[in-house]
């Protein structure tokens, strides 16, 4: 990837025909993007994905992942599926629950043909420190199995996100590869507030907070203790009344997305020239897949993209979403013809920051050439 030059992004739309189903198209995208050339015989190949928080059905389906596993094996690599544990309370916050969730969502060896290895160990402490000396991150803390792999192929479900506008390749690799301490570092500027006028005092948010930072007395609005808060933003999606929001200042929103891009840079820097990215612009839900539900997609399914440049593939994906007609009866509300769909949903969050910063630090380029694979 060289700044100034456009990166190739291969794209297949959702149309299929006899002899060319979506699995065939995934295989063709892998070949066109030349992912096989990233792999040498015996390489450990981390297939970085999100196995889906149980209850959320928008994750990339196991038969799609199996295609990639088989391609990697044919290239001589040793594939394994991987993700790091989550910060928030849920079904993927330690390696045992995470592995069980993977099986429940269909990522068994029998189905996919590769084992699921939790990248950062039982409690999220299995970390490799990667010095990058970036503008915001000096030393990234990455899940050991991802840091130590020879190759990474990141399969990302492209969707909205409450703290970064959208989540794609940069978020999947930057946030998703970080160990617990690394995730905390990236989230350190996120400080949500309760809007007392909207709070209906149900107490639901208290159970979701992994840090015990939310207190609640019956008959009074919830309160957040910022000295305990680790900034996971989980409470913002737990509140059904939208009473909790992050009151972003420019410095805080920039800090979060910039740290995320620098973490992605750290992962990529451990495997120069041996990284592939596929974005699935399908079931584009408004919020991240951490939630055990996925709200109605805001645009029709657009297709699948493949590139060796994480910035270019995310730029191409967001451009597809913004150019698509919005879906009625979704979180877009009346903004369905907006040319900034994620901005219409997540007010005050500018998703461009992760792309601009990614380009600035040499993670990739926002210039891309979209090459259609029929
Ligand atoms: S979940 Fe929302 S409405 Fe319920 S107590 Fe928390 S902030 Fe208030
Ligand atoms: S209060 Fe802080 S730690 Fe608790 S859920 Fe919200 S963001 Fe996470």
Ligand 1 center from residue 244 Cα (angstroms) = 7
With vertex at residue 276, the alpha carbon angle to CA 58 and CA 22, rounded to the nearest 5 degrees, is 45
Give the largest Cα separation in the chain, rounded.
64
* Order of strands across the sheet that contains 303-307: 116-118, 78-83, 44-48, 151-157, 275-281, 303-307, 7-12, 368-372
Six-digit token string for 273: 């020239």
Q: What is the mean pLDDT of residues 171-190?
A: 90
Q: pLDDT band for 250, please (50, 70, 90 cuts).
A: low
The CA distance from 282 to 248, in Å, is 28
Asked whether residue 176 carries a pLDDT value surpassing 60, the answer given is yes
What distance lies between CA 148 and its chain's CA centroid? 20
Mutate to test the pocket of ligand 2, among 233, 237, 291 (most ligand atoms within 8 A of CB): 233
Q: SS3 letters for 135-184?
A: CCCCEEEEEHHHHHCCEEEEEEECEEECCCEEECHHHHHHCCCECHHHHH
Q: What is the mean pLDDT of residues 93-99?
A: 94
Count of all residues that appear for the chain in the document: 374
Six-digit token string for 168: 């794609």
- Measuring from atom 8 of ligand 1, which residue has the nearest CA? 199
Asked whether residue 15 carries a pLDDT value surpassing 60, the answer given is yes
Continuous H helices in 75-126: 95-104, 109-112
Residues of the chain within CATH 3.30.70.20 domain(s) are 192-246
In CATH, what number does 7-188+257-372 get?
Answer: 3.40.50
Q: What is the mean pLDDT of residues 74-80?
A: 97
The CA distance from 142 to 179, in Å, is 5
Asked whether residue 16 carries a pLDDT value surpassing 50, the answer given is yes
Residues of the chain within CATH 3.40.50 domain(s) are 7-188+257-372
Six-digit token string for 187: 């989230």
From 11-15, 182-186, 298-302, 366-370, the region with the lowest mean pLDDT: 182-186
Ligand 1 center from residue 200 Cα (angstroms) = 6
**DSSP track, 53-70:** -TT---SPPHHHHHHHHH
Ligand 1 atom at minimum distance from 244 CA: 7
Q: What is the mean pLDDT of residues 33-42?
A: 97
Ligand 2 center from residue 355 Cα (angstroms) = 26
Closest ligand to C-alpha of residue 206 is 1
110, 64, 52: which is closest to 306 by C-alpha? 64
The CA distance from 274 to 354, in Å, is 22
Six-digit token string for 294: 């996925």
Structure confidence at residue 342 (pLDDT): 95
Given a contact cutoff of 8 angstroms between Cβ atoms, the answer to whether 162 and 285 are in contact is: no
Q: pLDDT band for 2, please (50, 70, 90 cuts).
A: very low
Asked whether residue 279 carries a pLDDT value surpassing 90, the answer given is yes
The CATH number for 192-246, chosen from 3.30.70.20, 3.40.109.10, 3.30.300.10, 3.40.30.10, is 3.30.70.20
Q: Tell me if 29 CB under 6 Å of ligand 2.
A: no
């Amino acid at each position: 990837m060289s700044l100034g030059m456009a990166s190739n992004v291969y794209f297949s739309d959702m149309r299929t025909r006899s002899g060319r189903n979506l699995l065939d198209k995934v295989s063709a995208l892998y070949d066109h993007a030349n992912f096989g050339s990233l792999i040498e015989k015996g390489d450990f190949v981390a297939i970085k994905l999100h196995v889906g928080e149980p209850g959320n059905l928008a994750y990339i389906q196991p038969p799609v992942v199996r295609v990639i596993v088989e391609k990697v094996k044919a290239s001589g690599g040793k594939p394994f599926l991987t993700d790091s544990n989550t910060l928030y309370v849920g079904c993927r916050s330690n390696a045992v629950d995470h592995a069980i969730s993977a099986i429940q969502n269909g990522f068994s060896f029998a189905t996919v043909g590769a084992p699921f290895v939790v990248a950062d160990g039982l409690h999220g402490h299995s970390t490799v420190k990667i010095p990058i000396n970036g503008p915001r991150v000096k030393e990234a803390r990455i899940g050991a199995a991802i840091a130590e792999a020879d190759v990474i192929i990141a399969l990302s479900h492209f969707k909205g996100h409450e703290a970064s506008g959208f989540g794609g390749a940069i978020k999947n690799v930057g946030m998703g590869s970080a160990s617990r301490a690394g995730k905390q570092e990236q989230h350190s500027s996120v400080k949500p507030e309760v809007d007392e006028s909207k709070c209906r005092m149900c107490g639901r948010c208290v159970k979701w907070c992994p840090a015990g930072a939310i207190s609640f007395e019956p008959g009074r609005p919830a309160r957040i203790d910022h000295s305990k808060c680790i900034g996971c933003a989980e409470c913002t999606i737990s509140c059904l009344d939208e009473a909790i929001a992050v009151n972003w200042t420019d410095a805080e929103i920039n800090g979060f997305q910039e740290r995320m891009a620098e973490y992605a840079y750290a992962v990529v820097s451990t495997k120069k020239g041996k990284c592939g990215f596929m974005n699935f612009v399908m079931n584009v839900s408004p919020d991240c897949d951490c939630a055990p539900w996925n709200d109605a997609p805001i645009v029709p399914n657009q297709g699948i993209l493949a590139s060796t440049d994480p910035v270019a593939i995310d730029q191409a994906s967001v451009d597809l979403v913004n150019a698509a007609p919005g879906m009625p009866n979704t979180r877009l509300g009346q903004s369905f013809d907006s040319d900034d769909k994620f901005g219409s949903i997540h007010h005050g969050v500018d998703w461009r920051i992760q792309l601009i910063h990614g380009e600035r630090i040499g993670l990739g380029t926002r210039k891309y050439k979209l090459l259609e694979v029929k």
